[in-house]
Amino acid sequence: MFQLLNTILIGITSGAIYSLMAIALVLVWRSTRVVNFAQAGQALLSTYIGFEVIQRFDSYWIALIVAIVAGAAVGALIDVLFMRFLFSRNTQGPIAGVAPIIATLGLLGLIRGGIGIFLGNTEASIRPPVSNVGFTISGHTLAFSPLKFLIVGAVIFLMLALSLIFQRTNIGLALRASAYAPEIARLAGVRVDGIRTLGWALAGAAGAAAGMLQTPNGDGGLSPDSLDFSLLLVFGFIAAVIGGLESLIGAVVGGLLLGLVLAFVLTYVSGSLVFIIAFMVLILVLLLRPSGLIGAKRGRRA
Amino acid sequence: MTLIVSDLCVDHGAIRAINRVSFRVEQGQLAAVIGANGAGKTTLLRSLSGLGHAASGHATWHDHNLLHAKPEKLVRYGVSHVCEGKSVIPELTVEENLNLGALWRKDAKEAKATRENILETFPRLGERLSQLADTLSGGERQMLAIGRALMSKPQLLLLDEPSLGLAPLVIAQIFQNIRELTDEMGLTVVLVEQNAMSALEIADIGIVLNLGRVAATNSAQQLIADPQVRAAYLGY
Ligand SMILES: Nc1ncnc2c1ncn2[C@@H]1O[C@H](COP(=O)(O)OP(=O)(O)OP(=O)(O)O)[C@@H](O)[C@H]1O
Ligand SMILES: [Mg+2]
């Protein structure tokens, strides 16, 4: 009984972090039609910045905020300095669709390599800001601690905030319009270039939050070739695809679903199967519901 | 305020789609641009709204140079363009499509009044505000596309084939709407149409394009009466 409950709790916590990464990927996909593999690098860089802030000010909370702001800035910079240039150079031909995506892979290598050169020798780790010792109920230890509570709460807060921005504000309307139909958005007066940069910034912020929340939840260690961040990218991507790549809600549902499935596999089957199962979930969803579980409901198309 | 186009040339790669085109449209006038498929009508409109790039020539509206300017800037000068094919965003609701046109406006109250006006002209949109634009019929979509353009408080309205794919009755209705809006709002309108006769009937002046050149330009009545134009473009 407790094992079942704990499995669900573990699934929800890790799923929440995947959701955040999935949200980051969806934001960039929606605003530029690019699958941003560099997101893992951006998240890692932002988390390193958070680590540096903790070294100086000894406060996880300040570091979290700085990392999120830095993540947004890095995302915006990548768009302004790199993606815009790439898109203006590369408008036609069979390569046009894939070039930006391959470019983000290159960027991922670049960021990780850069971190390796400049920060590779520092022993970096982030300790949990609040206890990660599970709550106990009548002698049993739950797999749910103040830290995990913080993680789930932060993800819910960020998701609600982003959904509100998208659905209820003028900026959100401009973001959606630019993603769906850039030409019509421009004719309506939306400065699409700036709006796209904003999409990259929001994504960078979400990725940074994912990195800052994930690290203390694991062993706390940070390294340039961190496997945790690679997995975060892969699982975030799978979650985003499960959710249909287009919707924030879909990303969260996809993340939680994946987190739960993997937690059950880990507890009841075998830890060595987690990776395979993750990809099996991806393939199953693609085969059965290619537009994702939350795939767009379509009315008439004519 | 006058729309003045002179010696405009626009290329698509090696093709010169618009070749030394000149015309003027006075404020408050409705100009119909007619011509066969591939005559260059869409290319002409796109170069006036900032979506297309001109090779040479001039186009000015009021004091503003229309060439080499971005559409998001031109809309702030009062230029609104409804593209060929229903120019709405199917993933957004009717209301959001309308609001989109007014996003850049600072005058929220006035924008609201504009919206009331548009909903009076197109009551069917008012009944469907929270519906996805995807669920609208072709005619309703065209109304929404025009409504979205009007939300931007245009002075110069560029319409690309609003009759495309619509039933004759709906076309008549939309054309009547366009004429009334032109007069009520004091708009200057460039109406591109395949449906030459219906367009000329509501227009003040007509411009006939043929293979990227102006083949004839005159008052709409005189074009309708011109035997050559009748034979070539009006089909009788
Ligand atoms: N993006 C493009 N690339 C290459 N050629 C183009 C492009 N767009 C238009 N053309 C060519 O330019 C010419 C004019 O096209 P345009 O779309 O302006 O015609 P149109 O008068 O609007 O036709 P229709 O009534 O069919 O809409 C055509 O010969 C067309 O093939
Ligand atoms: Mg056309």
Ligand 1, CB within 6 Å, residue ranges: B 12-13, 15, 17, 35, 37-43, 84, 194
What residues of chain A lie within 8 A of the CB of B92, using their CB?
173, 176-177, 180
Place of tokens 């036609």: A92
For residues A63-75, b (16+ Cβ closer than 10 Å) or e, as one string? bbbbbbbbbbbbb
Q: Do B104 and A188 touch (CB under 8 A)?
A: yes
- Ligand 1 atom at shortest distance from the alpha carbon of B84: 27
The answer to ipTM > 0.90 is yes
CB A129 within 8 A of CB A216: yes
Taking the C-alpha atoms of residue B203 and residue B201, their distance in angstroms, rounded to an integer, is 6
Taking the C-alpha atoms of residue B49 and residue B82, their distance in angstroms, rounded to an integer, is 10
Q: What is the DSSP string of B180-193?
A: HHHHHHT-EEEEEE
Q: Which residues surround ligand 2, an ion (CB under 5 A)?
A: B 42, 84
Q: Please, which residues have CB within 8 angstroms of residue A249's CB and are 6 or more apart in sequence?
A: A159, A163, A243, A294
Q: Please, which residues have CB within 8 angstroms of residue A180's CB and are 6 or more apart in sequence?
A: B89, B90, B91, B92
CATH number of A2-121+145-296: 1.10.3470
How far, in Å, is the centroid of ligand 2 from the Cα of B160? 7
- Give residue A233's identity as a one-letter amino acid code: L
Q: Is B236 helix (H, G, I), strand (E, B) or coil?
A: coil
- Chain B contact present for A194, CB below 8 A: no
Give the Cα-Cα-Cα angle B76, B82, B86 (nearest 5 degrees). 145
Q: Is B56 helix (H, G, I), strand (E, B) or coil?
A: strand
Taking the C-alpha atoms of residue A214 and residue A278, their distance in angstroms, rounded to an integer, is 18
List chain A pLDDT tens, one digit each, 302 residues. 788 999 999 999 999 999 999 999 999 998 888 899 999 999 999 999 999 999 999 999 999 999 999 999 999 999 999 888 887 776 677 777 788 888 999 999 999 999 989 887 778 889 888 888 888 888 888 888 999 999 999 999 998 999 899 999 999 999 999 988 999 999 999 999 999 999 999 999 999 999 999 999 888 888 888 888 888 999 999 999 998 888 888 899 999 999 999 999 998 988 888 889 988 988 888 888 877 776 554 433 33
Beta bridge partners of B216: B208
Taking the C-alpha atoms of residue A103 and residue A83, their distance in angstroms, rounded to an integer, is 9
- Ligand 1 atom at shortest distance from the alpha carbon of B35: 21
Q: Hey, whose CA ends up nearest to atom 16 of ligand 1?
A: B40
Domain boundaries, chain A: 2-121+145-296
